[in-house]
Amino acid sequence: MTTSIIEIEEPSKLSSKDFASNQEVKWCPGCGDYSILKQVQSVFPDLGVPKENIVFISGIGCSSRFTYYMDTYGMHSIHGRAAAIASGVKAANPDLSVWVISGDGDSFSIGGNHFIHSMRKNFNLNYLVFNNQIYSLTKGQYSPTSEKGKVTKTSPYGSIEEPFNPSELALGAKASFVARTLDRDPKHMQAVLKRANEHKGTSFVEVYQNCPVFNDATFFAFSDKETKKEEAILLEQGKPLIFGNDNEKGIKFEGLTPVIVNLNESSISTNDLWIHDEKDKTKANILARFFDTTFNGEHFPRPFGVFYTEDRLTYDEGMTEQIKEVTARKGKMPLNKILSGDKTWHIA
Amino acid sequence: MNTLEKKATNTAKIIQTESLVVRFSGDSGDGMQLTGMQFTDTAAMLGNDLSTFPDYPSEVRAPIGTIAGVSGFQVHIGSREIFTPGDQYDVLVAMNAAALKVDLPRLKKGGIIIANLAGFDGKNLRLAAYPENVNPLDDGSLDNFIVYSIDVTRHTKDALSGTGLGMKDIERSKNMFVLGLLFFIFDKPLNHTIKFIEEKFAKKPEIATANIRALNAGWNFGDNTEIFTTRFSISAAKLPTGEYRNITGNHATAIGLIAAAEKSGLPLFIGSYPITPATDILQELSKYKSNGIKSFQAEDEIASICSAIGAAYTGDLAVTTTSGPGMSLKTEALGLATMLELPLVVVNVQRGGPSTGLPTKTEQSDLLQAMFGRHGEAPLPVLAASSPSDCFNTVYEACRIAVEHMTPVIFLSDGYIANGSEPWRFPQQDELSSIHAHFINTVNGDNGNLLPYKRDEKLVRPWIKPGTKGLEHRIGGLEKQNETGNVSYDAGNHETMVKLRAEKIQKIAEYIPLVKPDSGNATGNLAVLAWGSTYGSIKTAVRELINEGYDIAHIHLHHINPFPMNLGELLHGYDKILIPEMNSGQLLQLIRAKYLLPAIGFSKVQGQPFTTAEMKEKIIEELKK
């Protein structure tokens, strides 16, 4: 038997370590960003995208340092503009897997305009917002997602502004994929990241992220054992909306108003419940309002998972197809023809 | 009747003239821009040299008949070389009283006024704010001019009777009547315009027919009525041999970008947001989808430059186009592009500022912004075009510098040359210089390390496209460690990088042409040093003065940062340096600071270009001191 040493071009499957750059990670101890970085690095080997085709574009803020820690292509840009830069990257090369990394200040305050247009334009990219409801890199001022009345260094008597509800905002801006996940639920986050990657179009993922220094424990109710079953509801396609410590509560519609029902009552069956349908925008809009809206005075649990998905033409596809279509119809105009234009005259 | 061989039966004498300026003036809705362009095209086809100046209000349709709504188009045609649209006009077409009021001051004494009678009725006179019961056409105030009051509306109506067209369409055709009349007066054929009308209204033959009838009627009116005793003829100019086309600055900028993309082998990406007077460039480039051009109308000025930065990072020739207010919005991103050291061309078609300022009027007031308008020390190459057709050459050069020196470049045009046009002996693609992009595909450091900020002899870093295997790396706005590009807050490293970035831009001077006088000698009593769209009036003034025996020169800069290497030496050869600018003296500051020369400024900040006359007067005044 002869043996030969063959150098195989195709590397063995990448591991999460292959996605870690050689830069020291410098977030505060206990920051939720560590978990997000870990989940992203864990999921990426399974995405089937060659490492060189992955590009991270981030803005400014704690979240946006993320780019430096991924051993992929990346640009740490300027405040609020990551989405705009990413649109140029995607237009230039639609084959790249582009991941926008941003925070609540970056996307909903200074970059608000780019955020809404990014949703509308629907480039095929992934847009992660690490929402910690505070400005952290500048050391603790209220953000556009901070709850009203928030006491911070710039609001010592409480903020007087209503916060944005990011999923509602994204849906209003015509997002084709809206999801929410949580730093303290690694498995859930990994599943959502995979779904985001699979979706063709702009995949908006809001990640609730704890800032242990300036806004600690804001989202703990959604992950702590004692409270999470009452305060959070996990969305699963085709499954009824059920929550509660003993899974005894369900949500159903009375007309267009959601109501919480007790499944222990004999008159209620799971067949009567609201079945989650990611394709149903009306439902998605109502789900998104399980935030600060009470329905008939009732408080609703916060949904996690994929609220909404929609298949529609992406900007990059549209741009590529238009170029193809017009080229097929008109043909490439030779440069000499462009230089001369239609009307020329000769001077002897 | 064969319109192509129209011959006058009229016995009016034809005077051969060297050059003439015509101003078409009317309401925004009167079609004066189109009329002017058609007149221009015909003159160009016949070999006249020319220069045009569209001068229109920023309101799309200001109230009809008002001073605010006056839209003008000025064209200077000649059998000699023409560099400006002319200080004063020989012929003024006034479609209404407001047009006459606005444009009369710059009509030459003895000049011709062609007035549309219907535009001088009571209502129009009131709207133009003439005193009660005063009509300039009959109160003797125009005695120093030759006035032809013509009932254009009635004649157009007569010509189009039986066509079945409504009054509105008939009204719209009256500019063609005027154009036909002008073609008669200037002894020019109708065929070019007829062809244009046929093409423009190919799908509306009844409108085409009406316009052509109106055009012929105008010509016939001139021929049949004996009120025109004099006609003018301007023979072809003695221009260098070759193929010519007429071109505006914005159009030249657009195709300069296309040419640079093609010659560099890079896809062209333009990320822009509409803004007067730069919008035409985005519009023009949007037509070329079949050449693979990716035009992207971004949500705002910031997104437009940021999308371009994203495209540049990904390996495209990336461009963003704007005007002053947009430029201000882009400046933070310009800092990022400087830090990233990516090629990017930023086109600023300057207009009167600050703020919304004079959107449709011209100014050169963004030079210092281009030079210094960024936070931190972020030097960038700055280039400026000197004429409509020069926009092609200069934006092409801007692309070359951006790509070959891995830097954002600011290209300055302005409203005057952006909308103005002139004949252009366009190049063939083979005559264009090549542009080399330097992508790397393998690591460039020792031990298999990638060094994204390792510099070559020009101090230029490599361009690395995402998608290139094995070269994954991160860049960003934070200060970079020399060579590795990793984040570094090291004090000494920061200073090194600031200096390296500055030196890289200065080094470009070694790769651009030396400057030489455009007119005049390399020494003399006075040099007029200038940049941008003042070129035409300065060239005309300096040439005329040289012919009169003055020892002066005209030096015109296209590269403003860095300056050509010999500029200081050249300037020291003159006793005086005069720097005319449509600002309060911006190049003046740069020249004084850099060369310690007592240069003299000459400012005009009126939203209007310099006239040749005021330029000559100033030069003579300085020479007398």
Write out pLDDT tens, residues B24-39. Answer: 999 988 889 999 999 9
Could you read off the pLDDT of B275-319 as tens digits, one per residue?
A: 999 999 999 999 999 999 999 999 999 999 999 999 999 999 999
The tokens for A266 are: 């004999």
Distance between CA A66 and CA A46 in Å, rounded? 20
DSSP per residue over A243-254, as a string?
ESTTS-EEEEEE
Q: Is residue B518 part of a domain?
A: no
Side chain identity at residue B166, one-letter code: G
Q: Tell me how close the Cα of A333 comes to any Cα of chain B, in angstroms.
A: 6
| Residue B537 neighbours by CB under 8 Å, 6+ apart | B83, B84, B87, B609, B610, B611, B612, B615
H or E element, residue B611: none
> Is B239 a domain residue?
no
Which 8-state DSSP code applies to residue B428? P
Q: A80: distance to nearest CA of chain B, Å?
A: 10
Looking at the partner chain, which of A70, A341, A347 has a beta carbon nearest the beta carbon of B47? A347
- pLDDT tier at B168 (50, 70, 90 boundaries)? confident
CB-CB under 8 Å, A75 with B340: yes
Tell me the percentage of chain B whose pLDDT exceeds 70.
Answer: 99
Task: Decide if pLDDT at B457 tops 70.
Answer: yes
For residues B410 and B265, membership in a common domain is answered with: yes
Instruction: Look at A92 and B314 and tell me if their CB atoms are within 8 Å.
Output: yes
Phi (first) and psi of residue A252, to 5 degrees: -135, 170
Chain mean pLDDT for chain A: 95
Cα B247 to Cα A236: distance, rounded to the nearest angstrom: 61
Taking an 8 Å cut-off on Cβ atoms, the answer to whether A76 and B475 are in contact is: yes
Please state the rounded mean pLDDT for residues B502-524: 98
Give the H/E segment covering residue B153: helix B152-160
Which CATH number does the domain A16-223 belong to among 3.30.930.10, 3.20.20.70, 1.20.970.10, 3.40.50.970? 3.40.50.970
Among the candidates B402, B431, B460, a domain finishes at B431
Whether residues B367 and B469 fall in one domain: no
CA B542, B543, B544, B545 dihedral sign is positive
Q: How far apart are the first and last CA of chain A?
A: 81
Find, in chain B, the residue whose alpha carbon is nearest to that of A110: B302
- Bridge partners for B410 per DSSP: B346, B382
Q: What is the pLDDT of residues B378-388, one digit of tens each?
A: 999 999 999 99
Query: Tokens 């052509």 correspond to what residue?
Result: B212
Q: What is the pLDDT of residues B551-560, one digit of tens each?
A: 999 999 999 9
Strands (E), B447-515: 474-476
Q: Are residues B221 and B271 in the same domain?
A: no
Average pLDDT over residues A38-57: 97
CATH value at residue B569? 3.40.50.920
Is B2:B57 a contact under the CB 8 Å cutoff?
no
One domain, residues B73 and B152: yes
* pLDDT in the model for residue B58: 75
Residue B388 counted as domain residue:
yes
The 10s digit of each residue's pLDDT in B243-278 is 999 999 999 999 999 999 999 999 999 999 999 999
Q: Are residues B45 and B177 in the same domain?
A: yes
- Which of A204, A212, A158, A178 minimizes the C-alpha distance to A286? A178
Q: What is the mean pLDDT of residues A292-302?
A: 93
Does one domain contain both B473 and B576?
no
- The answer to whether position B101 is within a domain reads yes
Structure tokens at B404: 């070959």
Interface test with B, best of A63, A89, A121, A342 (most B CBs within 10 A): A89
Mean pLDDT over B350-366 rounds to 95
Q: Is the pLDDT of residue A86 over 60?
A: yes
Residue range A13-41: mean pLDDT, rounded: 96
Judgement on whether residues B38 and B155 belong to the same structural domain of the protein: yes
Q: How near does any CA of chain A get to the CA of B289, in Å? A: 5
State the pLDDT confidence band at B6, using cuts at 50, 70 and 90.
Answer: low
Find out whether B577 and B529 touch, Cβ atoms under 8 Å: yes
Q: Give the pLDDT of residue A9.
A: 55
pLDDT of the residue at B1: 39
Separation of alpha carbons B180 and B39, rounded Å:
9
Q: Does B189 touch chain A (CB under 8 A)?
A: no
The whole-angstrom separation of Cα A161 and Cα A143 is: 10
Q: Residue B145 sits in a domain of what CATH number?
A: 3.40.920.10
Cβ-defined contact of A23 to B47 (cutoff 8 Å): no
Average pLDDT in the A287-314 region?
A: 96
Structural domain count of chain B: 4
A53 and B467 within 8 Å at the Cβ level: the answer is yes
Q: Which of B288, B300, B315 sits opposite A113 (nearest CB)?
A: B300
- The token duo for A210 is 């704890």
Confirm if B59 and B26 have CB atoms less than 8 A apart.
no
The pLDDT score that the predictor gives to residue A5 is 57
Separation CA B129–CA B597 (nearest Å): 50
pLDDT at A6: 56
Looking at residue A13, its pLDDT comes to 84
Residue A91 and residue B294: Cβ atoms within 8 Å? yes
Binning pLDDT at 50, 70 and 90, where does residue B225 land?
Answer: confident
DSSP for A10-54?
SPPPP-GGGGB-SSPP-SPTT-HHHHHHHHHHHHGGGT---GGGE
Query: Rg of the Cα trace of chain B?
Result: 27
Of the candidates B233, B258, B273, which is a domain's last residue?
B233
Contact B487 A73 (CB under 8 A): no
Evaluate if residue B506 carries a pLDDT over 50.
yes
Q: Report the residue of chain A nearest B464, measured CA to CA.
A: A73
Residue corresponding to tokens 């267009």: A256
Using alpha carbons only, what angle is made at residue B331 by residues B327 and B337, rounded to the nearest 5 degrees?
Answer: 120
Among B487, B511, B535, the domain-final residue is B511
Amino acid code (one letter) for B267: P
Confidence band for A1, pLDDT divided at 50, 70 and 90 = very low
B474 in the same domain as B414: no
On whether residue B106 sits in a domain, the answer given is: yes
Which residues are bridge partners to B612 per DSSP?
none
Please answer whether residues A36 and A65 qualify as being in contact, where contact means their C-beta atoms are separated by less than 8 angstroms. Answer: no
Q: Tell me if B62 is assigned to some domain.
A: yes
Q: Does one domain contain both B565 and B533?
A: yes
- Express each pLDDT in A132-175 by its tens digit: 999 999 999 999 999 999 999 999 999 999 999 999 999 999 99
Q: What is the pLDDT of residue B501?
A: 98
- In the prediction, which pLDDT does B228 show? 85
For residue B339, pLDDT beyond 70: yes
- Residue B436 inside a domain? The answer is no
Judged by DSSP in three states, B195 sits in helix
How is chain A split into domains, by residue range? 16-223, 236-300
pLDDT averaged over every residue in chain B: 95
Q: Which two tokens stand for residue B192?
A: 């070019």
In this structure, the dihedral spanned by the alpha carbons of residues B294, B297, B299 and B302, taken in order and rounded to 10 degrees, is 70
Subunit contact A78:B478, Cβ cutoff 8 A: no
Share of chain B above pLDDT 90, in %: 89
Whether B399 maps to a domain, the answer reads: yes
pLDDT, tens digit, 9 for 90 and up, residues A111-129: 999 999 999 999 999 999 9
Reported ipTM exceeds the 0.90 cut:
yes
Residues 399-428, chain B, touching A (beta carbon < 8 A): 425-428
The boundaries of the domain holding residue B451 are 446-511
Asked if B31 and B146 sit in the same domain, the reply is: yes
Q: Which residue has the tokens 């093609």?
A: B262
Tokens matching residue A164 = 């944005």
Which of A236-250, A318-332, B219-233, B566-580 is predicted least confidently? B219-233
CB burial of residue A295 (10 Å; 0-12, 13-18, 19+): middle
On whether both B348 and B423 belong to a single domain, the answer is: yes
Q: Are B358 and B403 part of one and the same domain?
A: yes
